[in-house]
Amino acid sequence: MIIDCDPGHDDALALLLGAGDPRLRLLGVTTVAGNQTLEKTTHNALKVLALAGVTGIPVAAGCDRPLVGELVVAANIHGVTGLDGPDVDVPVAEVAAVHAVELMRRLLADAAEPVTLIATGPLTNVALLLRRHPEVMPRIRRVVFMGGSTERGNTTPYGEFNIVTDPEAADIVLRSGLPTTMIGLNVTHQARATPEIIAEFRRMGSRLGAVCADLMTFFAGTYLREFGFPDPPVHDPVAVAAVIDASVVRTVAAPVAVELTGTHTRGATVVDLHHRTGRVANAVGVGLRVDSFWRLLMAAVRQLGGT
């Protein structure tokens, strides 16, 4: 699989799960502007892989803004670096000399079998890939993305950050005809980094475990301030967990549309759970086996951290 991301605290954990779980083969990482500017999300992706000791995975930078409109970053949640919290520096690898869309195209073309795209940021790069290189679509097994919600939003009352940041991109992906799985806030809000979870990261005794604990401690602070949540929801690795083990996230078939206009609802995902519209269904996450999710994530971080 390929992970397209905008690290981001929870994107960092998604990368660790994707790189550390033995059942997955991470072919490449692509970055997009979202939680922070493209320059910062790209540096952060390289930093997370370096901290985890993961080498040889190409990382390419993609779009620096949404398809339409201006970028609004989430510094209120992820800080000025996009990955505030841990006080560690590490030498990072070079970013690939090609655009993210070109790296995805090449990886898809060269792969022996169809590849799963996991997107944990705005869907700008994925949409551009489908528009620019429709010939690669048969090479994509499915797109699993963190974004949207069957219920409320977090950036606007009904809009979730990744979709609100680039609604047109999400619309292109959801209407592409590819199998897509939406992992929305209705699921990810169940994956909370409680004090026990943070303590478990710290108890690993590895630098990577400590970094995860520091990331989640910072994230807890901003989520408490912004949303009043006692424990922060760790959205993005849930999308990776859904790919590793289908029993961790329960999905139903339901058509998903993206509100592109709307006086108050631009960027909202309109999920037709009762099949009223007759549109083609996508897969939509509706339930999470929370303990199994954390077991997968902890095992991956432990495996990468060496302790």
Residues of this chain that bind ligand BDR (CB under 6 A): 8, 10-11, 35, 74, 77, 120, 146, 154, 160-162, 235-236
DSSP string computed for 78-116? HTTTSS-S-------PPPPSS-HHHHHHHHHHH-SS-EE
> What is the rounded distance in angstroms from the CA atom of residue 14 to the CA atom of residue 33?
17
Question: Residue holding tokens 């505030």?
Answer: 84
Minimum distance from residue 151 beta carbon to ligand BDR (Å): 13
Site for Ca ion in 120-139 (CB under 5 A): 120-121
> What is the rounded distance in angstroms from the CA atom of residue 224 to the CA atom of residue 217?
11
Burial of 89 (0-12, 13-18, 19+ CB in 10 A): exposed
Minimum distance from residue 164 beta carbon to ligand BDR (Å): 9
Q: How many residues bind Ca ion (CB under 5 A)?
A: 6
Which of 8, 1, 14 lies closest to 191, judged by CA? 14
Which option in ligand BDR, Ca ion, none does residue 201 bind, with CB closer than 5 to 8 A by kind?
none
Contacts of 288 (CB under 8 A, 6+ apart): 187, 188, 190, 191, 238, 248, 249, 250
Binding of Ca ion by 8 (CB under 5 A): yes
Which residue numbers are catalytic?
Answer: 235
Token pair, residue 155, equals 């950036």
Which option in Ca ion, ligand BDR, none does residue 57 bind, with CB closer than 5 to 8 A by kind?
none
What does the per-residue mask of binding to Ca ion show for 9-28, with x meaning CB under 5 A?
--x-----------------
Instruction: Find out whether 133 and 140 touch, Cβ atoms under 8 Å.
Output: no
Minimum distance from residue 147 beta carbon to ligand BDR (Å): 7
Which option in ligand BDR, Ca ion, none does residue 160 bind, with CB closer than 5 to 8 A by kind?
ligand BDR
What does the per-residue mask of binding to Ca ion show for 225-264, with x meaning CB under 5 A?
-----------x----------------------------
Find the part of the chain contacting Ca ion (CB under 5 A) among 116-124, 130-138, 179-187, 259-267.
116-124
> What is the rounded distance in angstroms from the CA atom of residue 214 to the CA atom of residue 12?
12
Minimum distance from residue 234 beta carbon to Ca ion (Å): 11
Q: Which residue lies nearer to ligand BDR by CB, 11 or 84?
A: 11
Question: Residue holding tokens 């997107």?
Answer: 119
Minimum distance from residue 184 beta carbon to Ca ion (Å): 13
DSSP 8-state symbol, 134: G
User: Which positions lie near Ca ion, rule CB under 5 A?
Assistant: 6, 8, 11, 120-121, 236
